[in-house]
Structure 1
Amino acid sequence: MNSRRISPAEDPAATQRQEPAPRRRGIFWKTALALVAAVVLLLPVVLLPLTTGVPVFAWLPLLLVGLAAVVWLVVRRRKQHAQLAGVGVLVLIAGGAVLASQVLSGTPPVTGPDGQPVPGSLAGVEKVELNGSEQWILVRGHDPSNPVLLNLGMGGPGGGGFFNAQEFRALEDTFTVVSWDEPGTGKSYGSVPVKDLHKERYVNDAVALTNLLRERFKQEKIFIYGVSWSSILGIWLVQEHPELYHAFVSSGQMVNTTENDRMGYELALQHLEEQGDRGRADELRRNGPPPYHGADVASPYVAFLDVLNEMMGSMRFSVAVPLIPFFVPEYGYLDKVNHTRGVIESFNAVYPQLEDLDFRQQALKLDVPVYFFVGRHDINAIASLVEDYCNALSAPDKKLIWLEGGHGLGSAENQDVFFDVMRNQVRAAVP
């Protein structure tokens, strides 16, 4: 029987065995590094359907091309130029994912109980001009003839309305819900220079947006909702322009920021001492009690606010602020990053301006109905201060609705209370 001897050139395995060990190790590590780079560069593509509203026709081709580039890296691992080309393709794919997230992200359709889009419903992310600056709103609702509810956004300053817009999904059959990314955060980041962020800017822009919505939806008045920082803005709005609003609704109402924060600081310090957490307790002592001043006021505030959130069983601010925007589908990747930047920059610029705020002296009479949702054990927006303010407040109608636990509408039980009051009491203000 004749047999032909296979040359090393015809046997890749043999060729590899004949290569010096240092060369084999070099190929191995270069391939490993290329694959690590591939995983990092593919991550923006993989996360597109999980964290943005980019449609499948955009992210699926990016993913397929990216996976093909990974296979190329493995198959052509012995060719340095081929590997560089594969990584280059992945860089372009990652850039395409970022671009797609910014250009193509949108809000999901408004659906009925059958999961199908509601005919005539509204679901859109829109750019509007407010006092010469371009800002962004999210509009959602079953019926454009429903009353408008303007969500002024989360706390901060700098939280923005896209951040908490999903809390209102269950009310979209009752209201046309408009969530506003205020100047300086999220999609409206950079719309106004940070140095121009002050009470008058926020109030004037909110009034301009209110009038835009009144005209668009042909309604004489609208409802407004605020939480924490934006509850301050809400009080300012109904105090200065009661003719524009049916009612004001808030959660985590701020009354006197300095008194509120000093009480929270003492509670946090006491808790850390009781827990034997000397490191963080010493940090709070070094910071001293609020209010804080200087270029970076956010850090000492977050130091004790994180503790308060832990005491209430909530996520730390230092975790929630950068994490939650990554699950806001209407945000592109740059918006998600800008949201965190906006919270820090807006807080540093605006919060010190609230040092003398005290609604028990400055806003004891409001000419619209007000509804305060208050956590019984809220130690962020101190519940006792809100109760005192509500008792002293003069308004056509006022209600303090107690929620179980701490701050926010996070639990299903509290959400049910909120939805019931909004549908059956707040909505009833409109004939």
Structure 2
Amino acid sequence: MKQTVLKIYIQALFFGMVFSACTSTKKIKTSSGISEINYLEINDRKQYVLIRGKDINNPILLFLHGGPGASATALLRKFNHELEDDFTVVYWDQRAAGKSFSKHITKEEITVENYIKDVEWLVDYLKNRFEKEKVFLVGHSWGSRLGMYAVQRNPENYSAFVGIGQELHAYRGELLSYHYTLQKAEERGHKKALKELEEMGPPQSGHYKDMYATGFWGGVRQKHWLLKFGGERYQKTTYIDWIFSIWFSREYSFADLIRYGKGSAFSAGNIIFDEQFNDIDFFKEIQKVEVPVYFISGAYDYNTPWELVKEYVDHLSAPHKEFILFEKSGHSPVFEEPRKFNHEIRRIYNEIK
């Protein structure tokens, strides 16, 4: 009996430690290096910002993660940490995302405009703190949309922008994604997928039927089948490996993983009520930018279909523009082909500096 009680106590203690464990970041030991965790008051919301690099004199690289609400800090630290050799890398959990999520955040503040203002605040902070004229901006998925807004509004702040899995056109992007998924379901004779996809029907004006009622979840189901049929990740049909990467990250605890899920659901579930979020069309809204732009897509990306990104590059006016296709990636080349991605980021910066 005593052994059983002791065993239960040890297990409870262990899981309690895992759940509430303090997080840290590995110290960079170079004389001019930086490795610090911050909670900055960005536009009246405390937000998590991790800054790491071997030399604070290196250029600033700010990464805008996807979602909204899908922090990439843990994955970037695992797959892309070598960029810290050449850049002061800024890992930011956006408003309501990851370690920035709080029960005090309101639904009303989940707006595109607030996120844009948060980017502007953070860029000004970084420029002033590190005495830099410009920031090298990289955005993934939702973050790629934020990045385009940022460089359009304040081009003087940025040396260049790299969009990964670039969001561009709500209606055409979703329509291409839907038809790809339907085609794969037909090829495989997958009755359940066919039934669900045919019932929801193709998206109308960028979203599915009854967007503000059941349509949001219709979109979720479409993305579920897209992942299963290879249009989201290259040769993978789940995110289990990435979930474990977040859990076992030095910078994240199990409690943070729970917070991650809450923040992601909260952000995605409320941003759809912002009119500025829906029905975007960068072909009309952003036809010209005044900074060099690079777009990296995966050949298996039918979340933000790569063909549409290539078309946009041909359409866009910019000092320099380039479309780069990763042959063994889906929607996230930054994590699916990290060595190639890190090499491209270095090449791009060497081109523009």
> Any conservation in 1 of the 2:182–2:194 contact (CA below 8 Å)?
yes
Match among 179, 192, 199 for residue 286 of structure 1: 199
Tell me by how many angstroms 1:295 deviates. 5.0
Match among 288, 295, 302 for residue 220 of structure 2: 302
Letter of the 2:219 counterpart:
Y
CA distance in 1, matches of 2:37, 2:215: 32
CA distance in 2, matches of 1:147, 1:210: 13
CA distance in 1, matches of 2:240, 2:197: 19
Q: Which residue of 2 aligns with 1:140?
A: 52
Q: Please report the RMSD computed on the Cα atoms of aligned residues, expressed in angstroms.
A: 2.4
Letter of the 2:128 counterpart:
E
> Any conservation in 2 of the 1:306–1:316 contact (CA below 8 Å)?
no
CA distance in 2, matches of 1:411, 1:392: 28
Tell me by how many angstroms 1:294 deviates. 2.3
> Any conservation in 2 of the 1:375–1:405 contact (CA below 8 Å)?
yes
SS of residue matched to 1:207: helix
Letter of the 2:166 counterpart:
Q
Count of residue correspondences: 340
Question: TM-score if structure 2 supplies the norm length?
Answer: 0.88
Tell me by how many angstroms 1:378 deviates. 2.2
Unaligned runs of 5+ in 1: 1-30, 32-71, 75-82, 111-116
CA distance in 1, matches of 2:241, 2:101: 19
Match among 366, 385, 392 for residue 315 of structure 2: 392
Tell me by how many angstroms 1:265 deviates. 1.1
> Any conservation in 2 of the 1:321–1:340 contact (CA below 8 Å)?
no
CA distance in 2, matches of 1:285, 1:351: 23
Q: Which residue of 1 aligns with 2:145?
A: 232
Tell me by how many angstroms 1:331 deviates. 1.4
SS of residue matched to 1:341: helix
CA distance in 1, matches of 2:84, 2:297: 23
User: Is 1:409 aligned to 2:333, yes or no?
Assistant: yes
Match among 119, 126, 129 for residue 41 of structure 2: 129
> Any conservation in 1 of the 2:230–2:237 contact (CA below 8 Å)?
no
CA distance in 2, matches of 1:416, 1:94: 35
Letter of the 2:67 counterpart:
G
Q: Which residue of 1 aligns with 2:173?
A: 260
Match among 267, 271, 274 for residue 346 of structure 1: 267
Question: TM-score if structure 1 supplies the norm length?
Answer: 0.73
CA distance in 1, matches of 2:125, 2:280: 29
Change beyond 3 A, Cα 1:227–1:239: same
User: Is 1:327 aligned to 2:248, yes or no?
Assistant: yes
Letter of the 1:385 counterpart:
L
Q: Which has the higher helix share?
A: 1
Q: Which residue of 2 aligns with 1:159?
A: 70
Q: Which moved more, 1:252-261 or 1:189-198?
A: 189-198
> Any conservation in 1 of the 2:35–2:51 contact (CA below 8 Å)?
yes
Unaligned runs of 5+ in 2: none
SS of residue matched to 2:212: coil
CA distance in 2, matches of 1:140, 1:284: 44
SS of residue matched to 1:294: helix
CA distance in 1, matches of 2:329, 2:108: 34
Tell me by how many angstroms 1:270 deviates. 1.8
Q: Which residue of 2 aligns with 1:374?
A: 297
Q: Deviations over 1:86-116 (max 9, x none)?
A: 64565355334433x2xx2112234xxxxxx
Match among 101, 119, 129 for residue 189 of structure 1: 101
Q: Which residue of 2 aligns with 1:311?
A: 230
Q: Which residue of 2 aligns with 1:108?
A: 26
**Bigger RCO (CA 8 Å, 6+ sep):** 2
Larger Rg: 1
Q: Deviations over 1:112-138 (max 9, x none)?
A: xxxxx4343222221111011100011
Letter of the 1:257 counterpart:
A
Q: Which moved more, 1:267-276 or 1:304-313?
A: 304-313
CA distance in 1, matches of 2:76, 2:186: 37
Letter of the 1:330 counterpart:
E
Tell me by how many angstroms 1:221 deviates. 1.0
Change beyond 3 A, Cα 1:139–1:387: same
> Any conservation in 1 of the 2:70–2:260 contact (CA below 8 Å)?
yes
Change beyond 3 A, Cα 1:239–1:245: same
Q: Deviations over 1:352-373 (max 9, x none)?
A: 6432101000001101110111
CA distance in 2, matches of 1:321, 1:271: 24
CA distance in 1, matches of 2:280, 2:235: 26
Change beyond 3 A, Cα 1:89–1:317: closer
Percent of pairs identical after alignment? 30
Q: Which residue of 2 aligns with 1:73?
A: 3
CA distance in 1, matches of 2:112, 2:335: 32
Q: Which residue of 2 aligns with 1:198?
A: 111
